[in-house]
């Protein structure tokens, strides 16, 4: 019985259940048109990102450099696939062209820290130059909001909880009309998911 209990606890430690996060780094990655330091057009992935002194927030753009991605991970104090700040977790919300850099950040976190983001919210992800983002997303939970009316559009992604928000556009599509509408609707919904985890 004691041996079985010891094995169970060991398995919990390996799975990360025993080191569940109680604090978070929250990252928003914007799409085309949004510049660093708030320049350019506003982004739902930034504007609807929860802001609170209780947690660390990073606003990145789709052109984020490797150094900017690495800076996000500094707080976790990772070395050789192990994370020193065991109670610190990562959550990411990305929109449109921000999809690629956001997934890159999640992959870096997994490689350097040996853990997956607790939550990844994708909003109408687009691969450059103009294709639907369909790559697998490394995360404990992935939620994907997309639409099918605009030329620029996301798609359902395997392994994610997928929600088609096309109906919110009321029949409007165009090059990017529905894409932009879903950016804001999806980021509001994503914000609610992030807040539920932050303030559980």
The DSSP bridge partners found for residue 78 are 83
**pLDDT band at residue 130, thresholds of 50, 70 and 90?**
confident
Give the chain's domains with CATH numbers.
Answer: 19-198 (3.40.50)
Percentage, residues of the chain above pLDDT 70? 90
* Spatial separation of the C-alpha atoms in residues 77 and 88, rounded to whole Å: 10
Residue 19: per-residue pLDDT: 54
Of 123, 147, 148, 112, whose CA–CA distance to 30 is shortest? 123
Q: 58 near 25, Cβ under 8 Å?
A: yes
**pLDDT band at residue 20, thresholds of 50, 70 and 90?**
confident
pLDDT at 14 over 60: no
pLDDT at 8 over 60: no
pLDDT at 16 over 70: no
* Spatial separation of the C-alpha atoms in residues 110 and 97, rounded to whole Å: 21
Residue 35: per-residue pLDDT: 85
């Amino acid at each position: 019985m004691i041996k079985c209990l010891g094995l169970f606890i060991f398995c919990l430690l390996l799975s990360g259940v025993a080191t569940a996060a109680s604090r978070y780094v929250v990252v928003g990655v914007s799409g085309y048109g949004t510049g660093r330091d708030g320049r350019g057009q506003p982004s739902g992935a930034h504007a609807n990102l929860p802001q609170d002194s209780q947690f660390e927030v990073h606003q990145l753009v789709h052109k984020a450099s490797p150094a900017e991605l690495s800076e996000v991970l500094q707080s976790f104090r990772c070395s050789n696939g192990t994370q020193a700040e065991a109670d610190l977790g990562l959550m990411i919300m990305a929109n449109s062209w921000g999809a690629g850099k956001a997934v890159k950040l999640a992959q870096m976190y997994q490689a350097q820290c040996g853990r997956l983001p607790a939550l990844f919210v994708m909003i109408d992800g687009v691969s450059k130059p103009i294709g639907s983002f369909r790559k697998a997303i490394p995360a404990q939970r992935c939620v994907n909001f997309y639409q099918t009316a605009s030329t620029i559009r996301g798609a359902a992604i395997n392994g994610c909880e997928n929600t088609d928000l096309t109906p919110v556009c009321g029949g409007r599509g165009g090059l990017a009309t529905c894409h932009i509408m879903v950016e804001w609707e999806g980021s509001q919904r994503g914000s609610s998911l992030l807040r539920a985890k932050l303030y559980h």
